[in-house]
Amino acid sequence: MNVDHAGQLAGITEIGRLAAERGVTLPLTELVIAPNAIGELARIVDELAATHNADIAVLTDSVYYASATGSLKPQVVQALSTADRRVRHVIIGEPGHRVHADDATLRDAVKGIGDAGLLVTVGSGTMADIGKVVAQRRRIPHVVVQTAGSVNGFADDQSVLLVDGAKRTTPSSWPDALVIDLDVIASAPIELNRAGVGDLTSMFTAPADWLLASTIGFGKPYDSELVASVRPHGDRLLEVAARLDQRQPRDLAFLAQLLSISGFTMGLAGATAPSSGLEHVISHLLEMRAAAERKVSALHGEQVGIGVLVATAVWQRLRAAVGSALPELSVPDPAVREGDVKKAFEMLGRTTALECWSAYSKKLTALRGAPEALDSLRAAWPALQESFDHLLTPLPPLVDALRAAGAPLRFGQLASRFDADTVTWAVTHGHHMRDRFVVSDLVEMLGLWDEGFVTGVLDDLDALGAGR
């Protein structure tokens, strides 16, 4: 990989070292980020295929993807077609509609590829998530062709699926190879590449949530080395974001590299925690609401970018409220909370409400069963302040950077057009939809998470031209 002026970005060798130190075998053995990287696709497939006459399935949706010379999908099929090898082009989803990674779509994809001996997935982050699950179920090699710098989930072994209407991170499999053609990335709609910036801005909040959760023994242990693979490049990311519309190869390469590294860190952590905290649960809830109401979903990274601003404002208000001494913590009683949480999610459907409550109640039960962990958090709080200060970024510079990038700053500006009440609902109940511990869980255990606190957070953002 290239070197940027902010320092050396980790390459596949460095990621391999980190994997080996953690006892992880990294099946993703080839990462190609270059102009005309599609030209490497036939070689990669030949090396992965068990035999040269094994059928190949190319899995795509109905979206048009551009390359430097025209439509990408026919070029991929043509590049892989040989006299002794059949290429099966499998298209999933309804024309004109965004694909969802739900059970029905996964079944269609598995059925469509049949007995193919190798899978090539072309498309978005959702398509990559589907491909990773299909390849795992069929136990075949998998090559992902990334079509935009939109999300960081191409280069890990996890997939975000719709389970009973709820967004759930599910173990899948690493791709064996990831091909990122910079000509294709340059041809992608600018909103998609800006969305990648938004997804990456989670580096400014998610690691703080991860450290907080790890301190009370929740989830995977915090790994500062994995965080340090991404977080030091934050300033450079914000600089690049401001000129993404110029589509400079060096900037697009940096974006693609950093997205890949961020994906690697999630895979090596065994969870999305390095890049997924409060900002992501807010985005997940809005995506779930859009699906339930059959509305057009906003781009995931756009929502995450605004969610980062919300999470930053929550951290700021928390720090101002408690200072260096954390007061007594009171874990909500599941018996008391059950009715309220189910009611909060009833507009998503009964099945989804039950799924959300099932996950959240597990979190409450675990917290109530570990009072010593909460005591340890209170004792460690003064020392944690320095770490949080290092990981978090003041709100105004983040807003200014996203504004300079042309990224949306308000949820109401997104394609889903959610009103202020829906935004307030998503912020209020984000941490109630899954079993991951985030900063709003802590605020609630302090007795501060009420309508006034949430309104204050959104008012803080509104004063900066962001938020609702």
Same domain, 321 and 215: yes
* pLDDT recorded at residue 15: 80
> Do the beta carbons of residue 168 and residue 160 sit within 8 Å?
yes
pLDDT for residue 59: 98
Tell me what the mean pLDDT of segment 301-317 comes to: 97
Asked whether the predicted pLDDT for residue 160 surpasses 60, the reply is yes
Residue 453's SS3 state is helix
Residue 225 lies in a domain: no
Establish if 255 belongs to a structural domain: no
Tell me what the mean pLDDT of segment 71-80 comes to: 94
Which residue's entry shows tokens 């242990």? 221
Tens-place pLDDT, residues 382-413: 999 999 999 999 999 999 999 999 999 999 99
Please tell me the predicted confidence (pLDDT) of residue 90: 96
Are both 52 and 23 inside the same structural domain? yes
Give the CATH number for residue 297: 1.20.1090
Task: Taking residues 280-299, report their average pLDDT.
Answer: 93
Position with higher pLDDT, 455 vs 416: 455
Given 188, 211, 238, which residue is the final one in a domain? 188
Give the model's confidence band at 52: pLDDT under 50 very low, under 70 low, under 90 confident, else very high.
low
> Who has greater pLDDT, 314 or 22?
314
The span from the CA of 250 to the CA of 244, in Å, is: 10
CATH label of the domain that carries residue 130: 3.40.50.1970
pLDDT score at 7: 40
pLDDT score of 6: 34
Examine the pLDDT at 71 and tell me if it is beyond 80: yes
129 and 215 in a single domain? The answer is no
**Do 7 and 116 belong to one domain?**
yes
Say what the pLDDT of residue 24 is: 83
Mean pLDDT, the chain, whole residue set: 93
DSSP 57-74: EEEE-S---EETTEEHHH
Q: Per-residue confidence at 3, pLDDT binned at 50, 70, 90?
A: very low
Pairwise CA distance, residues 78 & 81, whole Å: 5
Range of the domain at 62: 3-188
Query: What pLDDT band is residue 162 in, cutting at 50, 70 and 90?
Result: confident
Cβ–Cβ < 8 Å for 55, 116: yes
Which of 194, 377, 271 has the alpha carbon at shortest distance from 24?
271
Residue 99 has pLDDT above 80, yes or no: yes
Q: Do 152 and 206 sit in the same domain of this protein? A: no
The candidate with the shortest Cα–Cα distance to 217, out of 434, 441, 425, 374, is 374
Q: Which of 27-31, 200-204, 290-294 has the highest mean pLDDT?
A: 200-204
pLDDT (0 to 100) of residue 122: 98
Answer yes or no: do 175 and 211 share one domain. no
169 shares a domain with 283:
no
pTM, whole model, 2 decimals? Answer: 0.93
What pLDDT is stored for residue 2 in this prediction? 33
Span 134-147, average pLDDT: 96
Residue 1: pLDDT over 70: no
Give yes or no: residues 172 and 28 share one domain: yes
Q: Are residues 113 and 207 in the same domain?
A: no
pLDDT at residue 23, as a whole number: 87
Of 80-94, 206-220, 316-330, 366-380, which range is least confident? 80-94
Beta strands in 156-239 (DSSP E): 158-163, 166-171, 177-181
Q: What is the pLDDT of residue 297?
A: 87
pLDDT of residue 85: 82
Question: Is the Cα dihedral 166, 270, 130, 72 positive or negative?
Answer: positive
| Residue 237 resides in a domain | no
For residue 38, tell me if it sits in a domain.
Answer: yes
Q: What is the mean pLDDT of residues 246-253?
A: 95
Residue 26 has φ and ψ, to the nearest 5°, of -100, 100
Domain count, the chain: 2
Is a pLDDT exceeding 70 seen at residue 147? yes
* Most confidently modeled range among 157-166, 167-176, 438-447: 438-447
pLDDT tens-digit map of 317-360: 999 999 889 999 999 999 999 999 999 999 999 999 999 999 99
Q: Residue 255 pLDDT > 90, yes or no? A: yes
Structure tokens at 340: 């309220």
**Residue 63's Cα: distance from chain center in Å?**
21
Q: Are residues 431 and 285 in the same domain?
A: yes
Per-residue pLDDT band at 12 (split at 50, 70, 90) = low
Same-domain pairing of 209 and 87: no
Same domain (yes/no): 178, 278: no
At 57, is the secondary structure helix, strand, or coil? strand
Domain assignment present for 214: yes
Phi/psi at 89 (5° precision): -90, 115
Residue 231 lies in a domain: no
Is position 243 within any domain? no
Domain membership flag for residue 78: yes
Query: Of 188, 212, 242, which residue sits at a domain end?
Result: 188
pLDDT value of residue 62: 92
Question: What are φ and ψ of residue 217, in 5° steps?
Answer: 75, 25
